[in-house]
Structure 1
Amino acid sequence: MSYDKTIAQAARTELERRRSQAEKTARQNLEGFLSNCPRAKEISRELAKNSAGAARAVLSGGNVHEELEQRKKLGLALREEYEELLKAHGLTRHDIEPRYSCSECRDTGFVDGRMCGCHRALRRSIAYRQLSAGLPLEQCTFQSFLLDYYEGDPAAKKRMKEILDTCRKYAENLRPRSSNLLFWGGTGLGKTHLSLAIANAAIEKGFGVVYGSAQKFALAIEKERFSREDSVGTANSLKECDLLILDDLGVEFSSPYSDAAIYDVVNERLMAERPTIISTNLDPSGLEKRYGERFASRIVGGYALMRFKGRDVRVQKLNR
């Protein structure tokens, strides 16, 4: 996946922060220990002298084996004493050595000249956060989805309770290869609310979630098509995230390129078995008119269709 310079720089900055913090903490622990335990400082010097003596023994000849064995025993004894002193001060060897977030690359981001998996994951995470920035996640939970607004229509209330229960169960059992959902129905019936409630649960589980309107993503993809700068890789982010939630499909500005790009995203995620949730005001026939038979067929065949019913909740809230 390709990213623009700001994402790459943000990832490098975060890796540097992690590495610096790990090394600073270890250094402070070691300095405090040596300051409070003079004997530990003496042992450090004795270990250095012992290592230098071993090197001289190899160079000087003589009974090298016997000399090295003696120095090995001395080194072991000194290290054992050092460990006991650490223990007496409530520390372990790990407390005076950097605890890097990634033991493979030691928070440098690279292993043997190749980008470490932690570095790639960090870049993805930053890209996902940017794509989903500004979402009212705290306001949209399953608990705050009130069925009171459907009281005037028993059939609609029954249907919306079924959808609420299904979405809650979907969120509880969310897996990397969960099924795809299509929310369709009129404006203000709770499609966005339940999409965000699922996004909340997915983020809690550690999933990489990308949420946004089809209009936002279509504009970003179109812009990157003509950009001469390094691509932010919106299309790739949409294809590769753990969970994609595509809101308000059908209201975006239509162009052959953006329509094809959205189809490509939806199709590739279906092929890769990555879960996608789409919300739209269009019914299946409306999707066919808007995007063509091929797109509608992929949706009808690969998504669980959920029709939202009732009266516009936003209007009801304003009237109250």
Structure 2
Amino acid sequence: MALTNSQHDAIMRTYDAIRTENRHIQNERYAQVTAACPEIAQIEDDIIGLSMQAAAEMLKNPDYKTAYRKKLSELADRKAACLAALGRPADYLDPVYTCPKCKDTGYIGQHKCACFTKKAIELVYHDSNLKNIITTENFDTFSYEWYDKKTPIPSIGLTPYNNMQNIVSICHRFVDEFDTTYDNLLLFGDTGVGKTFLTNCIAKELLDSSHSVIYLTAVELFQCFEQQDFNKPDTSDTAIDSSYILDCDLLIIDDLGTEFANSYTSSRLFYCINERILRRKSVVISTNLSLSDIRNMYSERIFSRLTSAYKLLKLAGADIRLLKKTGQKP
């Protein structure tokens, strides 16, 4: 769903609180350094006085701008020297911003800042189940003990254990290089081999590093599009405006293929995948479908996008849920 007026106001109030807190930090810094070095307060007053004088002088003499800049630079150098003597950087008394891009306003010009989008997703997208799951399903709790070390997978020539080591390494690299390298992942394989667990691992790492992440099952994804396209009432806790689906830092689509597939879901899937490729926004997809199943179930152009723009990671092994239930090990 789109933000209501009250939700938008709630987000803007958080920016008010952030700016208030940051002004408090700046004031504390000023009080601290001027108590230790009163000269800094005098320099600050001189800078203000010089600026007021310059405004009047430049109306009478435009050439005064050069002299003004020289005097201002000299004052700035004196201030930086005083701060350095106190072991503080030159910008220590500059305004404090949590988000330097928008200066804690939520907007850059007329456009929403990325930090606003993240706050909107956090407000609208309340998937408490995911938040609970990632406390137990993450890279720290991942275990290789459920993967066979002896019998190679014929199609790739690696044991499930070695194959999973490679895949986990790729997932770690995906997270580590997320801000510098554009990439997408398609995790496919039989039921219970760890696909959803790995998507949870990725989600936690990026959420912990302040990225905006939307995690939806394929069914939920298409429900979001249907509610917007056909003006259906919002009955789902996970319903979210499609603009956030397209703009969030990472979109995770879990269990692709479990939805009721038809021409509408196929067209919406292509739109979502293609649009995020154009915007260079990463996607992680998990599915029980084989590559041939994907090709048969969806359009050729979807298959082409997935195979050309995604790392294809085939997970293999025994059903871990079944192994845990029966107390067996591979």
TM-score by length of 1: 0.69
Alpha carbons of structure 1 residues 91 and 121: separation in structure 2 relative to 1, 3 Å: same
- Contact 1:239–1:269, Cα closer than 8 Å, also in 2: yes
User: Is 1:133 the equivalent of 2:127?
Assistant: yes
- Contact 1:25–1:98, Cα closer than 8 Å, also in 2: no
SS in structure 1 of the partner of residue 146 of structure 2: helix
Alpha carbons of structure 1 residues 289 and 88: separation in structure 2 relative to 1, 3 Å: closer
1:93 to partner: Cα distance: 9.7
1:16 to partner: Cα distance: 0.5
Q: Percent identity?
A: 24
SS in structure 2 of the partner of residue 155 of structure 1: coil
Ranges in structure 1 where 5+ consecutive residues have no aligned partner:
59-72, 74-78
Name the aligned partner's letter for residue 159 of structure 1: P
User: Is 1:261 the equivalent of 2:268?
Assistant: yes
Structure-2 separation of matches of 1:86 and 1:298: 55
User: Is 1:154 the equivalent of 2:151?
Assistant: yes
Structure-1 separation of matches of 2:29 and 2:321: 56
Corresponding residue for residue 117 of structure 2: 124
- Contact 1:11–1:122, Cα closer than 8 Å, also in 2: no
Structure-1 separation of matches of 2:31 and 2:227: 53
Give 1 or 2: higher helix fraction: 1
Alignment of 1:106-125 (within 5 A): 106-109=103-106, 114-115=109-110, 120-125=113-118
Which residue, 185, 191, 194 being the options, matches 2:189?
A: 185
Indicate the RMSD between aligned Cα atoms, in angstroms.
4.6
SS in structure 1 of the partner of residue 135 of structure 2: helix
Structure-2 separation of matches of 1:299 and 1:183: 11
Deviation digits for residues 24-50 of structure 1 (CA, Å, limit 9, x no counterpart): 34456667899x89x99x979x98xx9
Deviation digits for residues 86-131 of structure 1 (CA, Å, limit 9, x no counterpart): 99999999777752335576434456xx346xx5212221244454
Alpha carbons of structure 1 residues 262 and 7: separation in structure 2 relative to 1, 3 Å: farther
Structure-2 separation of matches of 1:248 and 1:271: 23
Corresponding residue for residue 20 of structure 1: 20
Deviation digits for residues 36-87 of structure 1 (CA, Å, limit 9, x no counterpart): 89x99x979x98xx99xx8xxx9xxxxxxxxxxxxxx9xxxxx999999999
Number of residue pairs matched by the alignment: 298
1:319 to partner: Cα distance: 2.4
Structure-1 separation of matches of 2:227 and 2:250: 23
Name the aligned partner's letter for residue 161 of structure 1: N
TM-score by length of 2: 0.67
Which residue, 200, 203, 212 being the options, matches 2:204?
A: 200
Alpha carbons of structure 1 residues 12 and 287: separation in structure 2 relative to 1, 3 Å: same
SS in structure 2 of the partner of residue 140 of structure 1: coil
Q: Higher mean Cα deviation, 282-291 or 183-192?
A: 282-291
Alpha carbons of structure 1 residues 132 and 285: separation in structure 2 relative to 1, 3 Å: farther
- Contact 2:186–2:311, Cα closer than 8 Å, also in 1: yes
Corresponding residue for residue 60 of structure 2: none
- Contact 2:215–2:252, Cα closer than 8 Å, also in 1: yes
- Contact 2:217–2:253, Cα closer than 8 Å, also in 1: yes
Corresponding residue for residue 168 of structure 2: 167
Deviation digits for residues 114-161 of structure 1 (CA, Å, limit 9, x no counterpart): 346xx5212221244454733222322334332222338623581343
- Contact 1:178–1:275, Cα closer than 8 Å, also in 2: yes
